[in-house]
Amino acid sequence: MSPTPQPYGSSLLASEPDAGAPGAASDATTTSPESGGAPDHAGSDPRASAPFVDAAPLSSQGHPSRTPWSTRISLLLVAALVGGLAGHFSAPRSGGAGLTVNAVSTAPGGAILPSGLSIPALVQKVTPSVVSIDVKGQGTEDQGTGMIISANGYVITNNHVIAAAAGGGTITVTRTGSTKSLPATLIGTNPVDDVALIRISGASKLQSVTFGNSNALVSGDAVVAIGNALGLAAGTPTVTQGIVSALGRTVTAGTSATSETLNNMIQTDAAINPGNSGGPLLDSHGDVIGMNTAVAGTLPDGTSAQNIGFAIPVATIQSLLKSLMAGASVVNHGAFIGVEIMSMSPELQLQYGFTVSSGAVVMSVISGTGASKAGVQQGDIIVKIDGIRIGSAQDLTSVVSAKRPGDTITVGIVRGKQHLTLKITLGTQPG
């Protein structure tokens, strides 16, 4: 998903809640209808939805509308002064006309990641498992990225990458280093979590990616993003580097026709552009810890938000693979509970002294929603819905997405040492 200024970007609206420490007060976070569903934090300026755009569609994308992110933006320009020169010189070589040019024949060195692996070595290791995806359908042609996850050609990608083919279009993939397009078939779709599974026809003995441990990520971890940026040339993916900027983000994204709320997202400053969607976000060992999905768009004054991208944790993807392999096609009925959540983790449990080790932690409660009216509070841990165990943010999203607006659900909550049961009437997912 890409910044709004490009003419090829279909608009995705996203709100990014503050992932600060969960508190006890239910009124710590509120949302005004005019803000498009983004939380207003007590003691701070109100914020509305920031535009996010789809990184995969290129030719099919139109001009998105702009919505405000902040009522006040402060910019700081910093002049960097270099206090000295560093380097080495070889013997002088004549450049003609009395000019002497210093030159060396030493090959440039690759950037080294904390693991000790150089980025060029990581790229060489992973890119054989990365494919460019081209989708044609319904009068559009879109490009994106995918990851080979099995030797017989299964490829995981974003659902919005292949959405144009869901009604009978065609999907082709191009492996890294190749110019040959290979046909692929759609196996399973999950628009709720924006994940889909395709398979390269007749494939065998392919090199697959290795999934890492996204639950062990911390802010500041080094990451590398690989993908078919801008659809510049299929089979020659772009590589960018950055860090994990934050964890547990909730992003509401959508085109002019649909919207989706994605929970527990990884935020990164590694550059993500149109066409990157569905590509891997790698840790410093070259293992996949996320799927690149969204990036911040344009501010009200026309400037672009910088270095704010989002990836779906690989733990979420792994939890969906069984149903995708079975050919599942998840339908989102648009039910909305009204909380922004992240999965419980050992780090969260240790930091805040939570009494349970699993569940969906409520990071904020949106004013006026069913959760707010039922008395759900920031810092609550949702552990059951209608008797179904909720072990993660993904579990909650899956259960709620199967419901319809107006349905009433029974929610089991842990608040400190209390175990509560609340009745929540679901609303409609904001557009």
Q: Which residue has the higher pLDDT, 218 or 297?
A: 218
Q: Give the CA radius of gyration of the chain.
A: 23
Q: Is residue 166 part of a domain?
A: yes
Q: Would you report the helix, strand and coil content of the chain in percent, each value rounded to 5?
A: 15, 35, 50
CA 251 – CA 408 distance, rounded (Å)? 24
The whole-angstrom separation of Cα 57 and Cα 44 is: 36
Judgement on whether residues 250 and 281 belong to the same structural domain of the protein: yes
Whether residues 51 and 141 share a domain: the answer is: yes
Active-site pick, 194, 221, 283, 380: 194
- Closest by CA to 133, choosing from 231, 246, 22, 21, is 231
Output the pLDDT for position 431: 55
What is the residue whose two structure tokens read 């179904």?
Answer: 388
* Mean pLDDT along residues 368-388: 94
Sign for the CA dihedral angle at 17, 18, 22, 26 comes to negative
CA atoms of 251 and 393, how far apart (whole Å): 13
- Find tokens 């983000």 and name the residue: 249
Match 């503050």 to its residue by tokens: 18
Q: What is the pLDDT of residue 193?
A: 87
Tell me which of 295, 327, 359 is where a domain ends: 327
The answer to whether position 100 is within a domain reads no
**Domain end call among 327, 360, 387:** 327
26-74 pLDDT, tens digit each? 333 333 333 333 333 334 333 333 444 444 444 333 333 333 222 222 2
174 DSSP assignment: E
Q: Are residues 355 and 235 in the same domain?
A: no
Tell me, yes or no, whether 47 and 167 share the same domain: yes
Q: Cβ distance 411 to 374 under 8 Å?
A: yes
Taking CA atoms, 121 is separated from 109, 113, 124, 127, 284, in Å, by 11, 10, 5, 10, 11
Instruction: Supply angle C-alpha 423, 427, 428, rounded to 5.
Output: 160
User: Of residues 2, 11, 142, 160, which has the active-site annotation?
Assistant: 160
Residue 421 domain-assigned (yes or no)? yes
Q: Is residue 298 part of a domain?
A: yes
- The answer to whether residue 35 sits within a structural domain is no
Residue 287 belongs to a domain: yes
From 271, 273, 264, 266, select the one nearest 218 (Cα to Cα): 266
Distance CA 286, CA 26 (A): 41
Residue 87 confidence (pLDDT)? 39
Residue pair 54/1 in contact (Cβ under 8 Å)? The answer is yes
187 close to 154: Cβ distance less than 8 angstroms: yes
DSSP, collapsed to helix, strand or coil, labels residue 155 as strand
Identify whether the C-beta of residue 401 lies closer than 8 Å to the C-beta of residue 335. Answer: yes
Q: Is the pLDDT of residue 236 over 80?
A: no
The per-residue pLDDT for 226 is 93
86 has pLDDT over 50: no
Distance CA 407, CA 152 (A): 42
CA gap 117, 122 in Å, rounded? 7
Q: What is the length of the chain? A: 431
Which is it for strands 280-282 and 222-227: parallel, antiparallel or unpaired?
antiparallel
Least confident of 38-47, 194-203, 226-235, 405-414: 38-47
222 is written with which tokens?
Answer: 């080094």
Question: Are the CB atoms for 336 and 429 separated by under 8 Å?
Answer: yes
β-sheet bridge partners, residue 248: none
Strand partners, 364: 340
Rounded-to-integer distance, Cα 158 and Cα 197, Å = 8
Domain end marker among 282, 299, 327: 327
* 48 and 174 co-located in one domain: yes
> Of these residues, 26, 132, 277, 284, which one is catalytic?
277
Return the CATH number at 389. Answer: 2.30.42.10
Residue 194 catalytic? yes
Assess whether 280 and 376 both reside in one domain: no
Q: Is residue 371 a contact partner of residue 293, using CB atoms and an 8 Å limit? A: no
- Domain interval for residue 413: 335-428
Q: Kindly state whether residues 266 and 211 are assigned to the same domain.
A: yes
Quick check: is 277 catalytic? yes
Let me know: does 242 contact 269? Beta carbons within 8 Å.
yes
- Kindly state whether residues 373 and 273 are assigned to the same domain: no
Q: Which DSSP letter does residue 55 get?
A: S
269: left (phi over 0), alpha (psi -120 to 50) or beta: alpha
Q: Is the pLDDT of residue 198 over 60?
A: yes
* Number of domains forming the structure of the chain: 2
Statement to judge: residues 151 and 259 lie in one domain = yes
Question: Is residue 322 located within the same domain as residue 362?
Answer: no
Between 359 and 74, residue with greater pLDDT: 359
The CB density around residue 197, as the number of other CB atoms within 10 Å, is 27
Work out the angle at residue 428's Cα, subtended by the Cα atoms of residues 425 and 431, and round it to the nearest 5 degrees: 155
Q: What is the CATH number of the domain that holds 293?
A: 2.40.10.120
Q: Residue 185 — very low, low, confident or very high, per pLDDT cuts 50/70/90? A: very high
Residue 333 a catalytic site member: no
Of the chain, the percentage scoring pLDDT greater than 70 comes to 72
Judge if 307 and 359 occupy the same domain: no
Lowest mean pLDDT among 44-48, 94-98, 337-341: 44-48
Same domain, 190 and 283: yes
Tell which wins on pLDDT, 200 or 302. 200
Minimum mean pLDDT range among 342-356, 380-394, 408-422: 342-356
Does 108 reside within a domain?
no
CB atoms within 10 A of CB 355: 12
| 76 within a domain of the structure (yes/no) | no
Q: For residue 116, what is the enclosing H or E element?
A: none
